[in-house]
Structure 1
Amino acid sequence: MNSNPSRTRAHAVSKVPQITLGFWIIKIAATTLGETGGDWVTMSLKLGYLIGSAIFAVIFIGLVAGQIRAPRFHPVLYWSTIVATTTLGTTMADFFDRSVGIGYPGGVALVFALLLTSLAVWYKTEGTVAVQSVTTAKAEWFYWVTILFSQTLGTALGDWVAGSDEGGLGLGYEIGALIFGAGLLIVGALYYWSRISRTAIFWAAFILTRPLGATLGDLLDKPVSQGGLEVSRLYASLILVAFMVLCVAFIPQRPAGRAIQ
């Protein structure tokens, strides 16, 4: 066991990227990929939401375990784990909304409660939910579970606003993308021109990028009759994978050096 707190903190911080514009560009691409990739497995391959969730849960657990064991920040590993949370979040949200039958409003309420519970337990256990303050394996698991719930909530929000079935508001994917894009602009303004906790702003932005990605993903692969472009889910996913690979390769990424206050 490492008894040096400063070494432990440095080790943990080195696995978290700095929160920059490049981070958010890759994050939005990852969330869009999560939507198209999750739908490809559950719908195009016709495996269903439960089996799809089980497949992505195994991948998620394996990647988180690898992320925790990693001695330093690895961009490919980190973003692969983020993609795993987006695909699992997509299938989980669809399972709650459609297979369980609680509809989009019920799914949003359920996942929002799970997210608040995760944050509350994490805060009670560790004393903070600032992402760069993660210093132990336990805290890292809290971090990734919270990210998973935030991705699932984002999916449910996107479907609720854009979809017309399952109790959705039926505003369409274009309007949904505009709404969540505007929400991100407001969060960005609060970051620069308010004294609101940077940790709260980070989690708000993290949640809002997911429905933005979900609506963009649905815009790509849904039928024209439903307001989409009807691009093959597989082709859309491959294009997004290629875009993410280029972003991870060419956008500078460095380990975070200080905690979000």
Structure 2
Amino acid sequence: MNNTLDPTRSDRSSALRTAVSKVPEITLGFWIIKIAATTLGETGGDWVTMSLNLGYVIGTLIFAVVFIALVAAQVRAGRFHPYLYWATIVGTTTLGTTIADFADRSVGLGYPGGVALVATLLLVSLGTWYKAEGTVSFRSIVKPRVEWFYWCTILFSQTLGTALGDWLAGSDRGGMGLGYETGALVFAAGLAIVAALYFWTKVSRTALFWAAFILTRPLGATLGDFLDKPLAQGGLNLSRLYASIALVAFVLVCVRLIPQRPAAPGAAA
């Protein structure tokens, strides 16, 4: 129906266009920082749960508190704050790492079971968001309820990415045993396909965004595992703490140097 014949819809569209977005525009720089942040989530999560011997339950509880606090701060913020946004992204990656590891290892679902469970939760989150708002576009993140939908969906996508990365790379718990280097190449190829679809087709930009967001997580997870896993398991056996500190520094430098601007509000195809 034409918006001029539907005042309610016209008012909603006008409000969306004039609203202030608190998420960044999607650029190449966004994806560079995203991959680094997800790699940090893997090394940081493993440092807390494994290196500090706190276990997956305690680690998950710690990161859940951090995640909720960061999302609450993000929702309360009156405008886009790059450092707060990326801190919240890192919060989702570390929590996603510990949740996936808890499901795969402590609960005993194995990698295929963990992937199936988290994929279901992600679809439920997207479906609930779409039913409530009529869109799952990142350009619609302009009011508190939508922000909570966005961040819960981000969390499940990060968790799914971790589970997918472990499933392809791992040789135990039902894993495919491809190793970390091969796993990273597989997900990089998937991202290349998504990029090709973006530049040369009219496939939904919203669908491509979520596909890329999910795929960058296992790419970061496999890179993180490659950095800190033992040599016998195909990793470099680097200190998780030092790797995490280096990644924090890299993310901060990228956020400082790469232009950060809020996404233009509006519906995306």
TM-score (ref. length: structure 1): 0.96
Superposed structure 1 runs of 4+ greater than 3 Å apart? 4-12
Per mean C-alpha deviation after superposition, the further-off stretch among 246-255 and 133-142 is 133-142
Q: Does 1:256 align with 2:263?
A: yes
Q: Is the 8 A contact 1:8 1:136 kept in 2?
A: no
Question: How far is 1:7 from its partner?
Answer: 5.7
Q: Does 1:22 align with 2:33?
A: no
CA distance in structure 1 between the aligned counterparts of 2:249 and 2:155, rounded to whole angstroms: 23
Indicate the residue corresponding to 1:181 in structure 2. Answer: 188
1:154-210 C-alpha deviation (Å, 9 max, x unpaired): 000000000011110000000000000000000000001111100000000000000
Indicate the residue corresponding to 1:106 in structure 2. Answer: 113
CA distance in structure 2 between the aligned counterparts of 1:117 and 1:193, rounded to whole angstroms: 30
Indicate the residue corresponding to 1:52 in structure 2. Answer: 59
| Greater Rg by CA | 2
Indicate the residue corresponding to 1:79 in structure 2. Answer: 86
Q: Does 1:242 align with 2:249?
A: yes
Indicate the residue corresponding to 2:151 in structure 1. Answer: 144
Q: Does 1:63 align with 2:70?
A: yes
1:214-253 paired onto structure 2 within 5 Å: 214-253=221-260
SS at match of 2:212: helix
Q: Is the 8 A contact 2:142 2:265 kept in 1?
A: no
Question: How far is 1:33 from its partner?
Answer: 0.1
Counterpart residue type for residue 186 of structure 1: I
CA distance in structure 2 between the aligned counterparts of 1:107 and 1:129, rounded to whole angstroms: 24
SS at match of 2:263: coil
CA distance in structure 1 between the aligned counterparts of 2:59 and 2:20, rounded to whole angstroms: 31
Q: Is the 8 A contact 1:11 1:72 kept in 2?
A: no
1:6-40 C-alpha deviation (Å, 9 max, x unpaired): 56664442x11010000000000000000000000
CA distance in structure 2 between the aligned counterparts of 1:62 and 1:118, rounded to whole angstroms: 20
Structural RMSD (CA): 1.2
Counterpart residue type for residue 46 of structure 2: D
Indicate the residue corresponding to 2:102 in structure 1. Answer: 95
Q: What is the number of residues matched between the two proteins?
A: 257
Give the fraction of aligned pairs with identical amino acids, expressed as a percent. 73
Indicate the residue corresponding to 1:202 in structure 2. Answer: 209
**Unmatched segments (≥5 aa) in structure 1:** none
